[in-house]
Amino acid sequence: MPISLNQGEALTTLLAALRKDWNPAGIRAALKKASFLGSAAEVAVAACRCAADPAMRTPFLIAEPGPHWQGTTAGTRQAPTMCAAHPAQKAGACPACFKAARPKPANFTLPPRTRPRDWTPEPVVSDLAAVRERADEMEGL
């Protein structure tokens, strides 16, 4: 069973008391993100382990894979592959690498559309009549 709102608020209060350097709004957001990763007890265990680690500078890391999830169902998750050039960014979603990617060639054009942008199919009159007839039958008319 995922963590409830009341459990999340109680855990936020506890974590904010344990870690004065963590913002309660940040804790709340991290718990919301982590709530799908395990039961309420597992999220609480992982969050408390995270709070116990001074290297965890931000509650955001609660929802990230790591040793704090060990022994929980979420502990088997694979850590994401990080960008080789920018270790803080996930590979394939690195904004710096995206910007640095090779630009489109000058002569690049998208293939032409097969239909004009404002194309709408004309209703087929015989189909329309059949649909009306079926609708009347369903309404008992």
One of 86, 90, 132, 134 touching Zn ion (CB under 5 A): 86
97 in contact with Zn ion (CB under 5 A): yes
Nearer to Zn ion, 17 or 96 (CB): 96
Task: State the nearest-atom distance from the C-beta of 99 to Zn ion, in Å.
Answer: 9
Nearer to Zn ion, 96 or 129 (CB): 96
Select the residue whose beta carbon is closest to Zn ion and give its number. Answer: 94
Binding window for Zn ion (CB under 5 A); candidates: 25-33, 34-42, 79-87, 105-113? 79-87
Task: State the nearest-atom distance from the C-beta of 103 to Zn ion, in Å.
Answer: 17
Residues 90 and 115: their CA atoms lie apart, in Å, by: 38
Long-range Cβ pairs for the range 119-126 (8 Å, 24+): none
Beta-bridge mates of residue 92: none
What does the binding site for Zn ion look like in residue numbers (CB under 5 A)?
A: 83, 85-86, 94, 96-97
